[in-house]
Chains A and B, each alone.
Chain A
C-alpha cells in the first residue's frame, strides 16, 4: 500500500517504511528472543544430550555441546529396543482414534444440532455431564469395564475408550448450529435426503472445524500416556510415551538414549507444526475457545 509513497529507491528504504524499528519494538523483540531462548533451551539440551556418548552425557560438570558428536544413542535405541514397534503402535492408535472421533462426533454433533428425535434434550444433558469424566478421574472403573470386555492388552482396548469425547461432539454441535438452515432447506426441496445433505453440504462447509477437531484429537491421542499405561503391560503393544516412560526408565536410565527416544516421540508433531502452523494454531485455539 505504502510502497507508492516511498521513493523508488533501494529495497532497504522500502522495508523500513513498512516496519520501522521503533525503540519499543526493539525492546519487545529482545524480550521475545530471551523468552524463546529459555523455552527452547530444554529442547536443545535434549538434542545435544542425545548426540553425546552415554559416558559424556553424565560428565560433571555438564557442558552444552558434545565434545565428540556421535549418533550412538540413536543407533542403540533402534538396534536394541522396540522403539520402532512403539512408533508404529502410536501411529496406528492415533490414526484410528482420530478417524473414529471425527466420524462419530461429526455425525453426533449434526444429529444434536439439526435433527429431532425423542429424548434429545436428555441425551444432550448426559453428553454435557460426560465432559467431566476422564481416565484420570474414573480410571479404575473404566479399566474393569474394558477388562470385562476382554480388551486388556489389545489395540481396541487402547483405541475405543479414547473415542467417546463429549467435548468434540459439543464443539461440532456448536458449529453446526451456526450453519444457516436455508442451505439445507434448499437441498431438501431438491429432494436430497438427510445423509446426502450432511455429506454434500454440511461436511464441506465445516472443513475448518473438522480439521480443528482432528488436529486436536491427534495431538491428544499421540501424547496420551495415562490410558495406554493402564490398559497395557505388553512392551510390544506400547505407544511411544508409554514405552519410553516405563521400559526405557526401568533398566538404569541411559540418558542419551532416553533423550533420543523422547525426541523421536516429540519431533514428528513439532515438525508437522512447523509446516502446518496456521492450521494447528487455529485448531487448538478453536477447540479451546469452544469451551467459553
Chain B
C-alpha cells in the first residue's frame, strides 16, 4: 500500500510521528513481553488432554502394530512387519475397505446434490422459513443408533412402512444387493440436514447486489443460478464433499445397528471400522487391529491432505 509515498513534503512530519509511536509501542512491548511468556499456560490444559488421548494413542497404535499384542495389554512380542504383511493379504481387509468405499461413493454425491436442492428450496420460499429448516434438519439431531433403528423398522419386511407405502416386496435388510442401499438411504435422511445448513448459510451470504446487477442486465433465473449462485457456492461444495468423504469412510454406527451388530447378508455391510473393532474386541488381536487401523489412518490422512493441496492450488491459481 505505502510503497509509493506521494509528496515529499509530508515526510518529515510523518517521520517524527512514527518515531514517537514507535517509542510508545516499544515500552508497550517491553511491558507485555513479560506477560507473553505466560502464553504457554493457556495452551497447557488442552495439550495435556491432546497428548493423552490423541498423540499417545497414535504412537501406541504404531507400536502395537509391530507386535502380537492381545486385549489383556501385557506380554506382547515384537514381530516386525508381519501384521502389515498379513493385512495386505487379508481378503477381509480389502472387502471391508471396498464396502466403506462403496458406501462413500453412493452417499457423497447424493448428499451434496440433495443438500443443495433443499437449501435452494428453503432459501427461496418466502414464508415460514423456520419450518423448512426445522423439518430438514431435525433428523440430524437424533443419535445415529436411533436413526438406524427407525429405518430398520421402516425397512422391516411385512411390518415395515417402506414396502407397504410403495407397494413393493423388497428384502431390504437381508438381500445382499439392497442391504448397503438401505444403510445409504438411512444415512441420507439422517445427515443431509448438516450439509443443508452449510449450503443455506452460504446462500444467505451471497450479496444481493450481484443478483440485482444481473437482473438489470436481463439475466433470467436460470442464468442467475448458473452464473452467480453456483460459482459462489464452489468453496462450500468443496467443503461439503470433503467433510462427507471423511465422515462416510468412517461409517460404522448405522451399518451395525441396522444389521443387529452383524455383518449383513454375506458380510455385505461389514465396514472397515467394524472389521478393526472385530479384530480388536472379538478376536482380541490388538496388534493386528492396530496395524489395520494405522493403514486406515493413512488413507484418511491422504484424503485430508489431498483436500488441503487442492485448496492451496486453487488459491494460487486465483492469485
Q: Interface on A for B, CB 8 Å cutoff?
A: 19, 25, 28-29, 31-32, 35-36, 39-40, 42-43, 45-46, 49, 57-62, 100, 103-105, 107-108, 110-112, 114-118, 120, 123, 126-127, 129-134, 136-149, 160-161, 163-164, 166, 169, 185, 188-189, 193-194, 198, 219, 222-223, 225-226, 230, 240-242, 244-246, 249, 255, 258-259, 262-263, 265-266, 269-270, 273-274, 277, 281, 284-285, 288-289, 291-292
- For the complex, count residues of B whose C-beta is within 8 A of A: 98
Q: Is the CB of A244 within 8 A of B145?
A: yes
Chain A residue numbers with a CB within 8 Å of B134 are 273-274, 277
Q: Is the CB of B28 within 8 A of A185?
A: yes
Q: Interface on B for A, CB 8 Å cutoff?
A: 28, 31-32, 35-43, 45-47, 49-50, 52-58, 60-61, 64, 69, 71, 73, 118, 121-122, 124-127, 130-139, 141-146, 148-151, 153-154, 158-161, 164, 189, 194, 197-198, 200-202, 235-236, 239, 242-243, 250, 252-253, 257, 260-261, 273, 276-277, 279-281, 286, 289-290, 293-294, 296-297, 300-301, 304
Q: Is the CB of A115 within 8 A of B36?
A: yes
Q: Is the CB of A115 within 8 A of B39?
A: yes
List 12 extra interface pairs beyond A133-B54, A285-B197, CB under 8 A. A40-B135, A46-B150, A103-B45, A133-B297, A138-B294, A141-B290, A143-B280, A144-B69, A145-B57, A164-B53, A185-B32, A273-B138
Which residue of A28, A43, A140, A144 has the most chain B CB atoms within 10 A of its CB atom? A140
Knowing A140-B286, A226-B252, A269-B141 touch, does A288 contact B49 (C-beta < 8 A)?
A: no
A288 to B, closest residue via Cβ: B198
B53 to A, closest residue via Cβ: A161
Chain B residue numbers with a CB within 8 Å of A58 are 159
Rank and list the top 10 A-B pairs by shortest CB-CB distance, nearest first: A115-B39, A111-B42, A141-B61, A241-B143, A108-B46, A245-B145, A140-B280, A285-B201, A36-B135, A262-B146
State A177–B44 Cα separation when bound (angstroms).
19
Q: Is the CB of B54 within 8 A of A108?
A: no
B235 to A, closest residue via Cβ: A292
State A129–B69 Cα separation when bound (angstroms).
26
Knowing A45-B161, A163-B49, A285-B197 touch, does A35 contact B28 (C-beta < 8 A)?
A: no
Knowing A58-B159, A123-B47, A139-B293 touch, does A144 contact B73 (C-beta < 8 A)?
A: yes
Q: Is the CB of A45 within 8 A of B154?
A: yes
State A241–B236 Cα separation when bound (angstroms).
31
B46 touches which of A104, A118, A134 (Cβ 8 Å): A104
A28 touches which of B54, B121, B138, B145 (Cβ 8 Å): B121
Knowing A144-B64, A230-B277 touch, does A137 contact B154 (C-beta < 8 A)?
A: no
Q: Is the CB of A137 within 8 A of B300?
A: yes
Chain A residue numbers with a CB within 8 Å of B73 are 144, 147-148
B49 touches which of A32, A143, A164 (Cβ 8 Å): A164
Give 15 CB contacts A-B under 8 Å. A32-B122, A36-B132, A39-B138, A131-B304, A137-B273, A144-B69, A148-B73, A163-B49, A198-B42, A223-B143, A262-B145, A263-B146, A273-B141, A288-B243, A289-B201
Q: Is the CB of A144 within 8 A of B60?
A: yes
Knowing A126-B55, A137-B250, A141-B57 touch, does A43 contact B121 (C-beta < 8 A)?
A: no
State A292–B45 Cα separation when bound (angstroms).
27
Q: Is the CB of B141 within 8 A of A225?
A: no
State A119–B137 Cα separation when bound (angstroms).
42
Q: Is the CB of A189 within 8 A of B189?
A: no
Q: Is the CB of A284 within 8 A of B194?
A: yes
